Structure 1
Amino acid sequence: MTFYDRADELEALERAFDSPGHGFYVVYGRRRVGKTELLKEFCRDRPHVYFLAAEEAEHRQREKFVEHVSNTFDDRVPRIDGWDDALEYLGEKLASEQRVVVIDEFPYLVEENDSIPSYVQGFVDEHLQHTDSMLVLCGSSVSTMESEVLGHESPLYGRRTGQIDLQPFSFRQARDAISYGLEDAIRSYSVTGGTPMYLTLFDYDESLAENVRSQILSPTAVLYNEPEFLLRTELRNPARYMSILEAIALGHTTPNEISGATGIDPGPLSKYLQTLRRLRLIDRDVPVTAIGKKSKRSRYRVADEFLRFWFRYVEPNRSSIEEAPTVVFDGSIEPDLPAHVAPTFEDICQEAVWEVIRRGEFDPYAEVGRWWYGEDEVDIVGLAPDDDRLLLAECKWTADPVGNGLVESLRSKAERVRWGPATRDERFALFSKSGFVDGLEDDLDDNWSLFTLDDLDVLF
């Protein structure tokens, strides 16, 4: 797979390796997010030991680990009785040679022997810290990595010198991999999201429709069952979690709505929602103006574009897809796709706001997010409390150019956004897929900024 971006993460790893003394890094994140590719790129030109753990019996895991270490150092395979001996053997080798040691899918080792973190602690304390080598523990089970490696209760707590919680690509980062024009790139990103493997499965010489049919709607395609595999990585009984994700993807975003759609009582539901948030599968949003972010006006959304697409279109139509995938795409997906793309476009426009701020073309804002109250909603609101400045922006993924109606609507909503003093400075922005009616820009003062897709293309 082609390696894209990750410049910041690579720089952090390189800096850690080049610094005096030992390094102990923890790299974790969801399946398919590119952890292994990142670490292989980091190890490429450095002496290293790279061990990929597998789901198998503990003694085979240990035997393979020792064999791999001995082969890497061109040594005969020693007789090893336990993990303490295996790691001591590695420590002896590192005493004379600086290496990067990567143990990938570390949770598989923990699953077979929950004392592994204690053995690694002994290795770090007794061997690694006396070398210039670097240990990297990597894993796709976010819950295991956070509890058994990073958590307060873990024997390894406080010993790491750094960690990387690897996230999917933003749209700006993903743009390098998506060779469509900007409009189709946005539509495509709303389907794949920023997960590198999903992005690179698409053939951008083919249409988006063909990619969806061949890479997602085919029962033999990798992505057809991908969310189920993803959930089973973290959860033993994913059925209820899947029903919650489907409900949220279909537009049931408040706890009451989710409870009604799934039949799960509010008490148990809150625990399921907490788990899904911890696994980075859903996000909890509150209005950006909420004090302390504990607003009861919370909404939930699926955190990954591909999962949102899958639970909106694939999971509810499994039987039909098995029989006639083209009919499902033509009849259910394609006509509804603009509604699916619209929230993605809002997120991309929010990225654009931050980019314009970084370039100094907008004054700075401390926070940027969504705002809603009752029936009113503003797609993007930026807060600059030190300057009593407020930014309000709307994003329209529509077939028609934007006109004065949206301008007046946003001005009206601004009056109902309770934030700051009455003398606050208000700025406005409009983002439109189909541009703006003739003369609109001339009718607006300097407090308004208008962005077309061509403008976004330049930014990204």
Structure 2
Amino acid sequence: MTFYDRDDELTALNTAFKSSGHAFSVVYGRRRVGKTALLKEFCSGHDHIYFLAAQEAEHRQREKFVEQVADAFDDRIPRIDGWDDAFEYLGEKLATDTVVVVIDEFPYLVDENDSLPSYLQSFVDEHLQDTDSMLVLCGSSVSTMESEVLGHESPLYGRRTGQLDLQPFSFQQAREAIGYDIGDAIRSYSVTGGTPMYLTLFDYDDSLATNIQTRILSPTAVLYNEPEFLLRTELRNPARYMSILEAVALGHTTPNEISGATGIDSGPLSKYLQTLRRLRLIDRKIPVTASAKKSKRSRYHVADEFLRFWFRFVEPNRSSIEEAPQVVFEGTIEPNLSTHTARTFEDICQEAIWEGIRQENLEPYSEVGPWWYGETEIDIVGLAPGDDRILLAECKWTNEPVGHALVDDLRSKTENVRWGSPNRDEQFALFSKSGFVDGLENDLGSDWTLFDLEDLRLLFSR
């Protein structure tokens, strides 16, 4: 599999290893986000020990770890009675050699022995810190990594020298892997999202329709059961969580709507939502002008495009897909894919605004996000408090060019956004899949910026 992007993360790991003294890095993030691929790429340039933990008995985990260490140093496998002995043995070897030591899926070891962080604390304090070697702990269970490695109560707290919270690819990063033109790339991204494994399972010599039918709707395809597998590895009883994700994917975004769609009372629901947020499966959004702590106008969204696609189109139609996948695609997915993509397009346009700010094509804004109040919504609003400047933008994934009607509509909404002074500087932007009617740009002043798909392609390729 081709290794894509992650240049910044590789640089951070290499810099940490090459700096004087020891290094202790923590790499964590959702499953399938590419942590193992990143660490293997990093290790390929250095003397290293790479240990991938498995869900098995503690004594087998320990035996395999010691075998890996002995093999790396061409040594006889010693007799080891506990993890303290295992790390003592590793410490002896690092006293004379500079090595990268990676323990991948560290949470599996903690599941079998919750004293592992204490043993590692002793190893770091008594052995690692006197070397130029590097220890990397990696895990997909975000909750375990945050509590057992990064948390205040962990014996390892304060000992790490660096950490990487690995995120899915943004659209701009994913473009390297998506072999379609800009329009189909956006459609495809709305299906796979930025998770590297999902991106690379598609064959971009095939059409998007073919990829959906063969890589997702086929009961033998990896992605057909992927979300269910993902939840079962994180949660003991995933049924209610799946019903919440399906409700959110189908457009029930407020707590009251989710409760009504799932039949889960508001008390228990809040705990389920909190767990899904901790697992990074849903996001809580508020209007960009509101306070994150005080606002009661929260909306929830599925945090991954592929999960949103799967819970919207696959999970509700599992029985029909088993019998007639092509009928489901042609009758349910294909007619509604444009609506599904429109939601993704808004996120991509928000990404484009940040990129435009970085490239100095747009004025700087410190906060960018959606805005709504009652029935009035604006796709993207940017705030620059220091300059008393606001950006208001709309995104249209439609087959018709955008004209004056959208301009007038956006202007009419501006007075509803109560932010800044009465004399604030108002800037506007429009994003359109199908471009703009002839002469629109000439009719607008310098406070308007228009983006069609070609503009986005150029922006993201710089």
The reply to whether residue 290 of structure 1 matches residue 307 of structure 2 is no
- In 1, Cα distance between the equivalents of 2:343 and 2:208? 18
1:345 aligned partner, one-letter code: F
Aligned match of 2:23: 23
CA contact (8 A) 1:216 1:224 kept: yes
- In 2, Cα distance between the equivalents of 1:289 and 1:430? 20
SS at match of 1:338: helix
- In 2, Cα distance between the equivalents of 1:310 and 1:7? 30
Aligned match of 1:116: 116
- In 1, Cα distance between the equivalents of 2:206 and 2:269? 41
TM-score, normalised via structure 1 length: 0.99
Map 1:405-424 onto structure 2 (within 5 A): 405-424=405-424
SS at match of 1:360: coil
The reply to whether residue 389 of structure 1 matches residue 397 of structure 2 is no
- In 2, Cα distance between the equivalents of 1:210 and 1:134? 45
String of CA shifts for 1:85-132, please: whole Å, max 9, x gaps: 011000000000000000001111111111111111111111101101
Map 1:167-316 onto structure 2 (within 5 A): 167-316=167-316
> What is the deviation of 1:147?
1.1
> What is the deviation of 1:293?
4.6
SS at match of 1:40: helix
1:330 aligned partner, one-letter code: E
String of CA shifts for 1:198-248, please: whole Å, max 9, x gaps: 000000000001000111101111111111111122211111111100000
> What is the deviation of 1:291?
3.0
Aligned match of 2:426: 426
- In 1, Cα distance between the equivalents of 2:330 and 2:7? 40
CA contact (8 A) 1:23 1:132 kept: yes
The reply to whether residue 96 of structure 1 matches residue 96 of structure 2 is yes
- In 2, Cα distance between the equivalents of 1:442 and 1:450? 11
String of CA shifts for 1:272-329, please: whole Å, max 9, x gaps: 1111111111100000001355311110000000000000001000000000111000
SS at match of 2:381: strand
Map 1:135-154 onto structure 2 (within 5 A): 135-154=135-154
Aligned match of 2:333: 333
The reply to whether residue 374 of structure 1 matches residue 366 of structure 2 is no
> What is the deviation of 1:384?
0.5
1:328 aligned partner, one-letter code: V
String of CA shifts for 1:155-209, please: whole Å, max 9, x gaps: 1111111111100000000000001000000000000000000000000000001
Aligned match of 2:51: 51
- In 2, Cα distance between the equivalents of 1:419 and 1:64? 60
Query: What is the number of equivalent residue pairs in this alignment?
Result: 460
CA contact (8 A) 2:400 2:434 kept: yes
> What is the deviation of 1:271?
0.7
CA contact (8 A) 1:247 1:262 kept: yes
- In 2, Cα distance between the equivalents of 1:404 and 1:92? 73
Aligned match of 1:155: 155
1:100 aligned partner, one-letter code: V
Aligned match of 1:74: 74
CA contact (8 A) 1:143 1:234 kept: no
String of CA shifts for 1:314-364, please: whole Å, max 9, x gaps: 100000000011100000000000110011000000011011111111111
1:370 aligned partner, one-letter code: P
Q: Greater CA deviation, 107-116 or 177-186?
A: 107-116
SS at match of 1:55: coil
1:35 aligned partner, one-letter code: K
CA contact (8 A) 2:350 2:369 kept: yes
SS at match of 1:410: helix
Q: Greater CA deviation, 396-405 or 112-121?
A: 112-121
- In 2, Cα distance between the equivalents of 1:234 and 1:159? 27
> What is the deviation of 1:39?
0.3
TM-score, normalised via structure 2 length: 0.99
Aligned match of 1:442: 442
- In 1, Cα distance between the equivalents of 2:195 and 2:364? 29
- In 2, Cα distance between the equivalents of 1:51 and 1:333? 42
Cα RMSD, aligned residues only: 0.7
- In 2, Cα distance between the equivalents of 1:292 and 1:347? 19
Which runs of 5 or more structure 1 residues have no equivalent in the other structure?
A: none
